[in-house]
């Protein structure tokens, strides 16, 4: 994952991030994470092939990634990224 992707996730989770799972040909679940705009899919952020036994495990994996990005890239934890933003 690039820094830009992590920042986009951090800035858009949870309201503008859609997470879905899918079952592959081996009956394992993979995941898709999309950024949304006005309720519609804007772009694919992350995806992975089937690695999990359940849809819930696959979706939780992406939620955990999103939470980690959000926690890491905050104004308090990474102030240099926000130095040019006026509050």
CA distance 42 to 12: 12
Q: Give CA–CA dist 80/87, Å, rounded.
A: 14
At 77 the pLDDT is 74
Task: Determine the pLDDT at residue 38.
Answer: 95
Q: Would you state the pLDDT for residue 76?
A: 73
Q: What is the pTM of this model?
A: 0.85
- pLDDT value at residue 16: 97
Give the pLDDT confidence score for residue 83 in this predicted structure.
64
Q: Domain locations in the chain?
A: 3-74
Give the tens place of pLDDT for each residue, 32-84.
Answer: 999 999 999 999 999 999 999 999 999 999 999 999 999 998 777 777 766 65
CA distances from 48 to 30, 34, 61, 71, 81 (A): 5, 12, 10, 22, 28
């Amino acid at each position: 994952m690039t820094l830009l992707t992590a920042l986009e996730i951090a800035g858009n989770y949870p309201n503008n991030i859609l997470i879905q799972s899918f079952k592959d040909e081996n009956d394992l679940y993979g995941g898709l994470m999309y950024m949304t705009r006005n309720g519609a899919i804007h772009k694919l952020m992350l995806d992975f092939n089937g690695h999990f036994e359940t849809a819930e495990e696959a979706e939780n994996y992406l939620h955990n990634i999103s939470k980690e990005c959000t926690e890491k890239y905050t104004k308090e934890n990474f102030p240099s990224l926000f130095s040019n933003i006026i509050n």
